[in-house]
Amino acid sequence: MTSSRIIVFDLDGTLVDTAPDLINALNFILAREGLPPVPLHAARNMIGAGARKLLERGLELDGRHVSLAELDRLTDDFIAYYAEHIADASRPFDGLEATLDDLTSHDYRFAVCTNKLEWLSRRLLDRLNLSPRFSAICGADTFGVSKPDPAILRQTVARAGAELKSAIMVGDAGPDVGVARRAGVPVICVSFGYTEVPVADLKPDVVIDHMRELRGAIEGLTR
């Protein structure tokens, strides 16, 4: 184990604005099923609980309920389409790379802890040339548990070669605050991500409005 401080990031809505490609994939499936598209602005807050849940929510908007077997099939089709279009329009949030450079120069290391599948997370970060920045990239399938189960955060930190006491979680939604609280880790939330309730209502330790505020927020928590 190393003693350097580790910042563990959520992916969708925290590091990368993935909504355009996720909603395009959702609308591809909905159109194929004869259902109307979901507007991007309305669907942003449906993201964050994984592909299956996003698809379920998209179907529910039109009052459509399907069998578990049908939902499995649609989810597989969604993932196949999304994987091919994963970085068509998805981009890092403004200021992310400069912030990571700054934090690296102050001896911080990074990991990703997401409810996205690990291989999709890696593919996205590879396409955006971000993967080498992270000591570990872990998804819902990596350890068989999802946020807010604290095991995913504990094991992500361990895989990154760090100690839990040196970790801070950065996310945008309830599962991020939940996993941090259950693991006993401080949590910073961004205000520009995907959440069904105002992020301040989730009571993270700090809310930031831009990535440039991240180092100040971290230093405030570690003083």
Q: Tell me the per-residue pLDDT of 152-162, one tens digit each, with 9 for 90 and over.
A: 999 999 999 99
Instruction: Label residue 188 by pLDDT band (50, 70, 90).
Output: very high
pLDDT at 13: 95
pLDDT at 222 over 70: yes
Structure confidence by residue, pLDDT tens digits, 50-95 = 788 889 988 888 788 889 999 999 999 999 999 999 999 999 999 9
Q: Does the active-site annotation cover 10?
A: yes
Structure confidence by residue, pLDDT tens digits, 91-146 = 999 999 999 999 999 999 999 999 999 999 999 999 999 999 999 999 999 999 99
- Asked whether the domain spanning 19-84 has the same topology as the one spanning 5-17+90-222, the reply is no
> Which of the following CATH numbers is that of domain 19-84: 1.10.150.240, 2.30.30.280, 2.40.50.140, 3.30.460.10?
1.10.150.240
Instruction: Label residue 2 by pLDDT band (50, 70, 90).
Output: very low
Distance in Å from the first CA to the final CA of the chain: 22
pLDDT at 209 over 50: yes
Which of the residues 10, 12, 21, 176 is marked catalytic?
A: 10
Q: Are the C-beta atoms of residues 154 and 120 closer than 8 Å to each other?
A: no
Q: Are the C-beta atoms of residues 83 and 116 closer than 8 Å to each other?
A: no
Q: Where are the domains of the chain?
A: 5-17+90-222, 19-84
Q: Are the C-beta atoms of residues 1 and 162 closer than 8 Å to each other?
A: yes
pLDDT at 202 over 70: yes
Q: How far apart are CA 145 and CA 153, in angstroms?
A: 10
pLDDT at 1 over 50: no
pLDDT at 143: 97
> How large a percentage of the chain has pLDDT more than 70?
98
pLDDT at 173: 94
pLDDT at 42: 77
Q: Residue 101 contacts by C-beta under 8 Å, 6 or more apart in sequence?
A: none
* Element spanning 136, H or E: strand 136-138
Q: In this structure, which topology does domain 5-17+90-222 adopt according to CATH?
A: Rossmann fold (3.40.50)
Q: What is the mean pLDDT of the chain?
A: 94
pLDDT at 37 over 60: yes
